[in-house]
């Protein structure tokens, strides 16, 4: 841990409103971001890393602020606190000297997403029209809106071109959207455990999570800030649902089987956890509720279920990707049933049909969707080769 650099989250106030897909504009917008490595004088070594539903700008290094602790998901959330309550970034294994996103060469930027709750303007920010937190008056944002905001931040940093955009899950959606929306500003995208459009079971899980939050009376129609109450019970259940969808059945079997938590036999209780997996879920829910805003969960969940590249382009994925100029790396995991490999294959097929540069890697690994956070060692050589760091591509 001693060599892990300490990083500070910084903030940018965007000079202009962000124009949103829903037709509204948002102003003011503040964005939290971190950077790792050094910007080259030619400003041509920038990699934007995009976080997933429950992440934040703290992607690597040790945070100077302990409040960033525990932003990783599922099994990946464990054993990640650094010394003195400082927290390692959610993708620390991937960003740093000699790592997948090599800070000896690249200047890596990560922002907290629009709609977030970790420093970027979102539903818990003050609505200038009322002087109170937006709550559910915050406009519905899309992945394209997130990308628009990221681009505005980069412009403020003097960056007009990206060597790569990379992310897993919702982060991978942003990478795809970058290549579609701003084809001549992105050299490469790295799309991990992601999709061009979430399948209906994934839509359903997200709907259930949102129903759980909104059905909690403490949600109060989305205006719970300042009331001393928050929809913690509903958020806890939402998180549990998310958790199980991030992990594979076999991973749960390996980790917990049907082991009991407290005794050799059951204790005949309805209210208390009996199985280790039950205790685990309750613990994970409690720790998530303490660090994450329920409205942000609703907005980001809605954005990732809306995301549908083909629908943006008359129902054709091929048409959607026709403008892409970035070379594309797709990585999927065999046990990921929330973002299954088939979607990556669809993207690969569409790009190949268009004659675009694309490569797809399926990694056989047991941890489900969480693999993008856990299988860092196996992603690293693939990404380094793709970015031209070592040897030829493949």
Beta strands 107-111 and 46-50 are parallel
What is the C-alpha separation between 343 and 304, in angstroms, rounded? Answer: 14
Three-state SS for 213-256 is HHHCHHHHHHCCCCCCCCCHHHHHHHHHHHHHHHCCHHHHHHHH
Pick one of 93, 122, 139, 172: the residue that binds a copy of itself (CB under 8 A).
Answer: 139
Element (H, E) at 202: helix 200-215
Q: Which stretch binds a copy of itself (CB under 8 A): 34-42, 45-53, 254-262, 319-327?
A: 254-262
What is the C-alpha separation between 42 and 70, in angstroms, rounded? Answer: 36
- 215 backbone dihedrals φ, ψ, rounded to 5°: -80, -10
What is the C-alpha separation between 260 and 32, in angstroms, rounded? Answer: 42
Q: Which is nearer to a copy of itself, 86 or 243 (CB)?
A: 243
146: left (phi over 0), alpha (psi -120 to 50) or beta: alpha
Nearest to residue 55, comparing CAs of 140, 210, 168? 168
- Where do the DSSP E strands lie in 244-307? none
> Judged by CB under 8 A, does residue 15 bind a copy of itself?
no
> Judged by CB under 8 A, does residue 392 bind a copy of itself?
no
Active site residue 169: yes
Site string for a copy of itself, 324-353 (x = CB under 8 A): -------------x----------------
> The tokens of 167 are what?
């992310």
> Judged by CB under 8 A, does residue 136 bind a copy of itself?
yes
Active site residue 102: no
Site string for a copy of itself, 201-230 (x = CB under 8 A): x-xxx-xx-xxx-xxxx----x--------
**58, 225, 361, 369: which is the annotated catalytic residue?**
369
Crossing angle for the helix pair 276-291 and 232-246, nearest 10 degrees? 120
Pick one of 21, 156, 185, 359: the residue that binds a copy of itself (CB under 8 A).
Answer: 21
> Judged by CB under 8 A, does residue 79 bind a copy of itself?
no
> Judged by CB under 8 A, does residue 134 bind a copy of itself?
no
> Judged by CB under 8 A, does residue 98 bind a copy of itself?
no
**336, 344, 361, 370: which is the annotated catalytic residue?**
336
CB 205 within 8 A of CB 245: yes
> Judged by CB under 8 A, does residue 316 bind a copy of itself?
no
Q: Which is nearer to a copy of itself, 258 or 392 (CB)?
A: 258
Q: Pick out residues in 265-304 that bind a copy of itself (CB under 8 A).
A: 265-266, 268-271, 273-275, 277-278, 281-282, 285, 298-299, 302
CB of 139 to a copy of itself, least distance (A): 7
> Judged by CB under 8 A, does residue 258 bind a copy of itself?
yes
Check the CA dihedral 308-309-313-318 and report its sign: negative
CB of 238 to a copy of itself, least distance (A): 9
What is the C-alpha separation between 179 and 12, in angstroms, rounded? Answer: 24
> The tokens of 102 are what?
């090599």
Active site residue 369: yes
Would you tell me which residues interact with a copy of itself (CB under 8 A)? 21-23, 136, 139-140, 197-201, 203-205, 207-208, 210-212, 214-217, 222, 233-234, 236-237, 240-241, 244, 249, 252-253, 255-258, 265-266, 268-271, 273-275, 277-278, 281-282, 285, 298-299, 302, 305-306, 308, 311, 337
Catalytic residue ranges: 169, 336, 369
């Amino acid at each position: 841990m001693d060599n892990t650099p300490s990083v500070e989250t910084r903030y940018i106030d965007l000079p202009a409103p962000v124009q949103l897909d829903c037709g509204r504009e948002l102003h003011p917008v503040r964005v939290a971001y971190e950077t790792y490595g050094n910007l080259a004088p030619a400003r041509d070594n920038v990699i934007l890393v995009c976080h997933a539903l429950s992440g934040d700008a703290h992607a690597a290094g040790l945070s100077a602020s302990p409040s960033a602790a525990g932003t990783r998901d599922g099994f990946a959330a464990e054993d990640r606190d650094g010394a003195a309550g400082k927290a390692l970034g959610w993708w620390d294994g991937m960003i740093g000297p000699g790592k997948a996103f090599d800070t000896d060469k690249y200047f890596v930027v990560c922002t907290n997403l629009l709609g977030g709750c970790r420093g970027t303007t979102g539903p818990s920010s003050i609505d200038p029209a009322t002087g109170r937190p937006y709550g559910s008056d915050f406009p519905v944002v899309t992945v394209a809106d997130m990308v628009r905001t990221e681009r505005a931040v980069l412009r403020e940093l003097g960056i007009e071109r990206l060597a790569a955009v990379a992310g897993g899950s919702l982060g991978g959606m942003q990478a795809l959207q970058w290549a579609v929306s701003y084809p001549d500003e992105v050299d490469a995208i790295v799309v991990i455990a992601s999709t061009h459009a979430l399948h209906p079971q994934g839509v359903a899980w997200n709907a259930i999570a949102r129903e759980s939050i909104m059905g909690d009376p403490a949600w109060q129609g989305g205006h719970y800030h300042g009331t001393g109450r928050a929809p913690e019970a509903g958020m806890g259940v939402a998180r549990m649902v998310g958790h199980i969808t991030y992990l594979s059945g076999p991973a749960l079997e390996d980790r917990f089987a049907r082991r009991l938590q407290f005794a050799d036999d059951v204790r005949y209780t309805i209210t208390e956890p009996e199985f280790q997996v039950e205790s685990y879920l309750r613990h994970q829910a409690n720790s998530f509720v303490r660090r994450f805003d329920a409205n942000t969960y609703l907005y980001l969940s809605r954005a990732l279920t809306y995301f549908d590249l083909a629908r943006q382009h008359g129902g054709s994925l091929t048409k959607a990707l026709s403008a892409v100029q970035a070379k594309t790396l797709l990585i999927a995991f065999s046990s990921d049933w929330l973002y299954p490999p088939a979607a990556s294959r669809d993207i690969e097929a569409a790009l190949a049909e268009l004659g675009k540069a694309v490569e797809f890697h399926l990694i056989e690994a047991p941890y489900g969707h969480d693999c993008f956070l856990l299988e860092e060692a196996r992603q690293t050589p693939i990404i380094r080769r793709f970015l031209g760091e070592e040897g030829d591509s493949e």
